[in-house]
Amino acid sequence: MMVHIPNVLTATEVAHCREVMEKADWVDGRITAGHQSGQVKKNLQLAEGGVAARELGALVGAALEKNALFISAALPQRVFPPLFNRYDTSMTFGSHVDNAIRAVPGTGQRIRTDLSATLFLSEPDSYDGGELVVEDTYGDHSVKLPAGDLILYPSTSLHHVTPVTRGVRLASFFWLQSLVRESSQRSLLFDLDTAIMRLNQEVPASPSLVMLTGVYHNLLRQWAEP
């Protein structure tokens, strides 16, 4: 399941991110790649744990906590501190699968990567190329979103970033461990939650809403991992 989550960051917050990133120092993006993905990764990254990455990561984290669509789709249990990358002209990231387990620096904590996320920070008309392409059984899905929008997709997916041929592509990326490990169960819960929210707008007094909400929470109680 891929979910487009619009307006995670406001225009003001996006502008602040770009201002901080413009002044920051960049390192080789392969520093956070596994052995296999490191062979096909060619981009730059804010130093993990650096001042700029910590400041912007806190901004993104606070925005995610307030975003109802993100919470509904991801059911996050643990979120890896957001990282930030940059693709200049000719930079790319070949087809790869994200590492199954990520160690959170400085905490001794590890998370299972159930879902991957890319938060776009450059306007799509400011660069050519740089599409995130997620591959699944239904084909290739090319994603290039407005600045401030986020795409959420299964970490089990093969995916790549096409070469940038003009301009600069800035983004934040991170992984998360969901309360519900199984993708098909998360998808059912998301569909049910979406239907409940729509019914609440269309027929707010319906007794069926109470029943459906009970079904949602009982399924979540059954499937969620502590």
Q: Tell me: the pLDDT tens digits for 139-157?
A: 999 999 999 999 999 999 9
Q: Are residues 155 and 81 in the same domain?
A: yes
pLDDT, tens only, 66-91: 999 999 999 999 999 999 999 999 99
Nearest-CA neighbor of 171 among 102, 101, 83?
83
Residue 173's CB: how many other CB atoms inside 10 A? 19
* 136 vs 35, higher pLDDT: 136
Are residues 202 and 102 both part of a single domain? no
Average pLDDT in the 192-204 region?
94
Rounded CA-CA distance 122/71 in Å is 24
Quick one: 196 and 167 in the same domain?
no
Is the same domain home to 16 and 119?
A: yes
Please check whether residues 102 and 158 belong to one and the same domain: yes
What pLDDT, on a 0 to 100 scale, did the predictor assign at position 34? 67
- Would you call 206 helix, strand, or coil by DSSP? coil
What predicted TM-score, i.e. pTM, was given to this entire model?
Answer: 0.94
**Shared-domain flag, residues 59 and 132:** yes
